[in-house]
Amino acid sequence: MSRRARLMLFGGSAVGLAIVLVLGLRGLPGFGDYHGVYGRVLSGIGVTERHATDVVTALNFDFRGFDTLGEEFILFGSVLGVVLILREMRDEHEQPSQAEAEEHRFAGPSEALAALAIGLVPGMIALGVYIVVHGQLTPGGGFQGGIVLASGPLAIFLAGGYLRLKLSSPHTLIEIADAVGAAGYALVGLGGLVFVGVFFKNFLPFGIPGHLLSAGQMDIASVAVGFEVNGAFLVAWSEFLDQTILVTRGSGS
């Protein structure tokens, strides 16, 4: 197709798209005008019926807990895929020498970067734990807190190189965290099935709104998701790191 014909095709489709878009956008409700019934009902009963002051967490871990189970396993499955794709191939080999791995520390961190990263690690871990356990009280929850927690070991990598990251989060441990978290979340759902007869129906006392141990199963679900997300991101990152730093092609070296 000549350049002229392509431009004409583009011009025609662009005008068509613009017309459809303008017509569609004209039918939208005004800015900030919300008509959904479901959302209004949920934000009304989040505190009174579930004793959770953060309605988003109540939605994720209670009202639509089953949807979150699917999301959990999307993450779990994608990390499995990453592990599978980035595994050691037949013509590749992992360099066993520690000195070699120590050399590949991204040109070495400057002292300022190392000091900053090390200083950030305790704060990140504390913040991550806080976000995970306060899921039902304040914005955040297992997912957000889990990645903040995973960033802690990553900061160790920035500050001290690859081997210290491996020391602080060995592969077996983070894989177990990933699996235990995913299984734990499914078990919370099964608990509902066993004790009250409905999958993901709350089976724990709701407690007093605003207290750390309140809102029934949400706390446990949040901690389980925290483990899962933390493990999942660490597994994915360390697979990438292994592939980049340790694995070389047999023919190349």
Nearest CA among 59, 53, 76, 56 for reference residue 186: 76
> Smaller CB distance to another protein: residue 12 or 108?
108
Gyration radius from the chain CA atoms: 24
> Smaller CB distance to another protein: residue 82 or 186?
82
State the nearest-atom distance from the C-beta of 218 to another protein, in Å. Answer: 13
> Smaller CB distance to another protein: residue 75 or 191?
75
Strand partners, 57: none
> Smaller CB distance to another protein: residue 151 or 169?
151
State the nearest-atom distance from the C-beta of 31 to another protein, in Å. Answer: 6
Q: Which structure tokens are listed for 191?
A: 């608990």
- φ/ψ bin of 34: left (φ > 0), alpha (ψ from -120 to 50), beta (otherwise): beta
> Smaller CB distance to another protein: residue 98 or 244?
244
Between the alpha carbon of residue 244 and those of residues 94, 105, 239, the distances in Å are: 10, 11, 9
State the nearest-atom distance from the C-beta of 133 to another protein, in Å. Answer: 14
State the nearest-atom distance from the C-beta of 150 to another protein, in Å. Answer: 8
Per the CB < 8 A criterion, the answer to whether 184 and 193 are in contact is no
Please report, as ranges, the residues that interact with another protein according to CB under 8 A: 31-32, 54, 56-57, 131, 139-141, 143-144, 147-148, 151, 154, 233, 236-237, 240-241, 243-244, 249, 251-252
Q: Which residues, 6+ apart, have CB-to-CB distance to 62 below 8 Å?
A: 50, 52, 200, 202, 215, 216, 217, 218
Please name the residue ranges forming H helices in 64-141. Answer: 65-85, 98-103, 111-133
State the nearest-atom distance from the C-beta of 104 to another protein, in Å. Answer: 9
> Smaller CB distance to another protein: residue 89 or 193?
89
Cα 47 off chain centre by: 26
State the nearest-atom distance from the C-beta of 108 to another protein, in Å. Answer: 15
